[in-house]
Amino acid sequence: MTLVRRVAMKISGGVVRYASPGCKEWAEGLAHEVEFIEGDWAALRWAMGSARVLLDRRGAPMTSLADVAARGRRFSESLNKGGSNVMFVMAVSYLIRLVDSASLQQRIACGVLVIISIYIGIVARVQQRKRQALSDTVGDLTLYCKLELERQRDFLQSGIGRSIHLILLLYISSMVFAHKGGFRANPFIAASGLLIWALVTVLALRQPRRVQREIDEVNAVLKETR
Alpha-carbon separation of residue 26 from 30, 56, 159 (angstroms):
6, 11, 33
Q: How confident is the model at residue 8 (pLDDT cuts 50, 70, 90)?
A: confident
Average pLDDT over residues 2-13: 85
Average pLDDT over residues 45-73: 82
57, 203 contact by CB (below 8 A): yes
Average pLDDT over residues 131-145: 86
Q: How confident is the model at residue 81 (pLDDT cuts 50, 70, 90)?
A: low
Lowest mean pLDDT among 2-16, 142-156, 171-185: 171-185
Q: How many residues are listed for the chain in this entry?
A: 226
Output the pLDDT for position 201.
Answer: 80
CA torsion angle 8 9 14 17 (round to 10): 150
Alpha-carbon distance of 112 to 124, in angstroms, equals 18
CB count in 10 Å sphere of residue 61: 14
Average pLDDT over residues 115-121: 93
Average pLDDT over residues 60-69: 84
Lowest mean pLDDT among 40-49, 132-141, 187-196, 216-225: 187-196
Average pLDDT over residues 93-121: 89
Q: How confident is the model at residue 154 (pLDDT cuts 50, 70, 90)?
A: very high
Burial grade of 142 (CB within 10 A; 0-12, 13-18, 19 or more): buried
